[in-house]
Structure 1
Amino acid sequence: MAERLNIPATKSNLIRLKEELSFAREGLDLLDQKKEALMGQISILSTKAHRLRQHLNRSLAEAYAFLDQALLFHGRLACERAALSNVLNERVQIRERSFMGVVLPLVKIEFSPARPAYGLQETGMAMDITGVIIRETLETIAELAELEVGLFRLVAEIRKTIRRLNALENIYLPLYQATVRHIQESLEEKEREALFQLKRLKGRKEAAYGPL
């Protein structure tokens, strides 16, 4: 026998439970739609993040290749001096947007106009290109961070949504459906019993007084 709520089998309770059951079914549909929307957004962001990671790895490999050239041509000390003289003056702006109730970050990084802060002595093209690539890489890292945090929050929300779906579908709805059936059957049984009693009473009166 299915579990049910322990409440009196009355018409008022039956009406209330049917309304709550209808509301729960609507909630189930909405949660299912939310789950599908979240999964779609996760798929989109995952694809973007995968492409960005690949781009980031290629950019870093390229930057290290030019850095190796700079070290070979100019030496470690000259490269360290050039690196210390470069100040990006970066500004990171973080805003927010909402998707299906989930707060997602919007990250933007801005730099001062690009120009080498070191002189021409003991420097060269490899140093310049390394600096340009690193600058572009920081922009990629900011975009990737935006996607990674967004994915983390979306995954947490979809897990919560799936738990609610399972609770509604496997616990709440069966419990209320069983209770509604029980109340309906109890009320029908009471109606049949009342009708039987009424017919029996009518039969007794007819036997005593003749047909009415």
Structure 2
Amino acid sequence: MTELRVPPGRAGRLKLRRGLEVARHGADLLDRKLRVLHARHEELLRAERAAREQWHARLTEAESWVRRGLLLGGEDALDTALTRRPAELEITWTSTMGVRHPRAASCGVPDADPDEPAPANTALVHAGAAYADAVRAAAEYAAAGAAARAVGDELLRTRRRVRALRRHWIPRLETVLARVDAGLEQNEHEDAVRRKWVADRQAQGR
């Protein structure tokens, strides 16, 4: 740890007091930021858990419909149900205490092309719709997870900064300030003793 450079005398004490005031004020501001981030992070974690459960539910439903379709039409029935239609993802953004993160995600899955062959049975039709819902749920889950991670990372960084101020920097400033105060007090005491000694000698001379 580097040594603090403190000007001698009262100028150094003034500088230390100002630095200590700034450090304490900064720590207080970071504490408030920490509380806001913590509350928001908890909200985002709950949203992420809910989105994950929704995605699992939609995926389980889709897989169930596929199994029914295969039981009804055999494995070859899946060939006619496969389509390659790219989904379109749109993400809206927001920020929490300066942290930019996804607010929501919407995923559009195009309808089937009328020229494509129809699925072999209605179970596979339901499977296609269910998988479209699963894709939308996956997008929402991904956005919720990204938001929770972004705010969580900033929460950890802020917590480390508060810890560094509270446990290291502020105590260090306080220690140095106490040492400077003690030195100035000692100097003032010695000056007072010297002035008294000079005054006494002058009085004796007269």
Shared fold (TM-score, shorter chain, > 0.5): yes
Q: What TM-score comes out, normalization by structure 2 length?
A: 0.88
How much has 1:7 moved relative to structure 2?
Answer: 3.6
Query: Given that residues 31 and 162 in structure 2 are in contact (C-alpha distance below 8 angstroms), is that contact kept between their aligned partners in structure 1?
Result: yes
Would you say the 8 A contact 1:9–1:187 is kept in 2? Answer: no
Q: Which runs of 4+ in 1 moved over 6 A?
A: none
Q: What does residue 143 of structure 2 align with?
A: 146
Aligned: 1:16 with 2:40: no
Aligned-pair distance for 1:115? 4.6
Q: How many residues are matched?
A: 203
Q: Structure 1 residues 92, 45: CA separation in 2 closer, same or farther (over 3 Å shift)?
A: same
Q: Alpha carbon RMSD of aligned pairs, Å? A: 2.2
Structure 1: give runs of 5+ residues left out of the alignment. Answer: none
> Corresponding residue for 1:58?
57
Q: Secondary structure at the match of 2:76?
A: helix
**In 2, distance between residues paired with 1:8 and 1:115?**
77
Whether the 8 Å contact between 1:45 and 1:151 is mirrored in structure 2 is yes
Deviations 1:30-83 (A, max 9, x none): 111122222111111111111121122122111111111111112222222122
2:199 aligned partner: 202
Q: In the alignment, is the contact (CA less than 8 A) between 1:52 and 1:144 conserved in 2? A: yes
- The percent identity for this pair of structures is 23
Compute the displacement of 1:173 (Å).
0.6
The higher relative CO (CA closer than 8 Å, separation ≥ 6) is in: 1
Equivalent in the alignment of 1:37 = 36
Q: Aligned-pair distance for 1:145?
A: 0.5
Q: What one-letter code is carried by the residue in structure 2 that aligns with 1:13?
A: G
Determine whether 1:137 maps to 2:140: no
| Residue in structure 2 matching 1:161, options 158, 163, 180 | 158
2:77 partner letter = A
Distance in 1, Cα, partners of 2:50 & 2:22: 42
SS in 2 for 1:76: coil
Deviations 1:70-126 (A, max 9, x none): 111122222221223x62x421224432222222134332233x3564455x62321
